[in-house]
Structure 1
Amino acid sequence: MWLDDPSDLLRLTLIAILTYPALVALLRVSGKRTLSKLNAFDLVVTVALGSTLATILLSRSVSLVGGLLALSLLVALQYGAAFLAVRWPPSQRLLKSAPTMLMRDGVLRHDVLRRMRISDSEIRQAARSQGHGDLSHLAAIVLETDGSLSVIGRESCGDGSALTDVRGR
């Protein structure tokens, strides 16, 4: 119950010593995008990497080479999808959601808030955390692809060109 086979500890240690640096190297080679703020696609890849690493470490049925290949494939697929999204913009609709306008010129878009499952209090919290005390002085609040809220004051909105790809602008 406590320890089925002492050789399991040795195997686990050796596999971790070999696999962890390989994963770190793969992530470094794949670029900062793999480790950036997560949209839904990036989150799935990150969870899959963690699950794969755990399986490699704990399952005797997965060889070290097979596990490293699985990690490499996940990183390569994420890299390929990001490459495709940059080179062929229509693919972005499949890989990530568009940013969404939640408030424009101080007016909350309650229908959009309901659809995005965001409460009025979360909007007020985002405004406060950016140092704004009055929603009517804000040009926009945008729900970004990674789930964060961007708050844009009227004084910093300029021509609004940063909002061109925002749904509902």
Structure 2
Amino acid sequence: MNPFLDVALRSLAVYFFMFAAIRVFGKNQLSQLNAGDIVLLLLISNAVQNAMVGSNVSLEGGLVAALVLFGANFIVKKIIFKNPKIKSLVESDPVILIKDGIVDNIKMKEQEVSFDELEEAVREHGVEKIEEVRLAVLEVDGNISVISMDKEKSRTNFSRHKRKYPRKSHKY
């Protein structure tokens, strides 16, 4: 077998294994990395490097592995974007943790979000009490979005919405 084809196939196998492993171990693992998570990522990357390139430790072998990983990621993202069924298989849906100040303990257990983590997310969004939260959602990326209710003006306040693609400025 061609050594570069071998590296490409090994890299694809490792990519899809890691993709599945991240899906199985949950999205809340991705939201904030602590020191243990970083060490784990470094050790995993070191462990799978040999699985991807095998005995081919040449520059070309490493570049082929990297190119295959970038290509596979590009293709998977395009497929996910165009096919809702595959998207729901690969990515989990957002989960409502708080609605109108009431915490959904069942969803929190299912998603393995502790009450302390939920309170921390609420405080990070500038809301003092859970009762003041209109909606708290565990997003697909593992972050918790919080929408609070301004009781004085009786309107909803949105806090710190991160945009994936920032708006371009218009020049006249």
In structure 2, the residue matched to 1:145 is 140
For 1:53 and 1:109, the matched residues in 2 are separated by 38
1:98 aligns with 2:93: yes
In structure 2, the residue matched to 1:62 is 57
In structure 2, the residue matched to 1:26 is none
Residues 58-108 of structure 1 deviation map (CA, whole Å, 9 limit, x = unaligned) = x86422212211111111111101011111121112221111111111000
Work out the percentage of aligned pairs sharing the same amino acid. Answer: 26
- The count of residues paired between Structure 1 and Structure 2 equals 114
Instruction: Give yes or no for contact 1:106–1:140 (8 Å, CA) kept in 2.
Output: yes
For 2:62 and 2:55, the matched residues in 1 are separated by 11
In structure 1, the residue matched to 2:76 is 81
In structure 1, the residue matched to 2:124 is 129
TM-score, normalised with respect to structure 1: 0.57
Report how far residue 125 of structure 1 moved. Answer: 1.0
For 1:131 and 1:104, the matched residues in 2 are separated by 17
Structure 1 residue runs of 4 or more that deviate by more than 3 Å after TM superposition: 40-43, 47-55
For 2:147 and 2:46, the matched residues in 1 are separated by 38
In structure 2, the residue matched to 1:156 is 157
The structure with the largest helix share of the pair is: 1
Matched to 1:74, the amino acid is: L
Instruction: Give yes or no for contact 1:126–1:149 (8 Å, CA) kept in 2.
Output: yes
1:115 aligns with 2:110: yes
TM-score, normalised with respect to structure 2: 0.56
Larger radius of gyration: 1
Report how far residue 51 of structure 1 moved. Answer: 3.9
Q: Specify every segment of 5 or more residues in structure 2 that has no aligned partner in the other structure, as ranges.
A: 1-21, 31-40, 150-155, 159-172
CA RMSD of aligned residues (A): 3.1
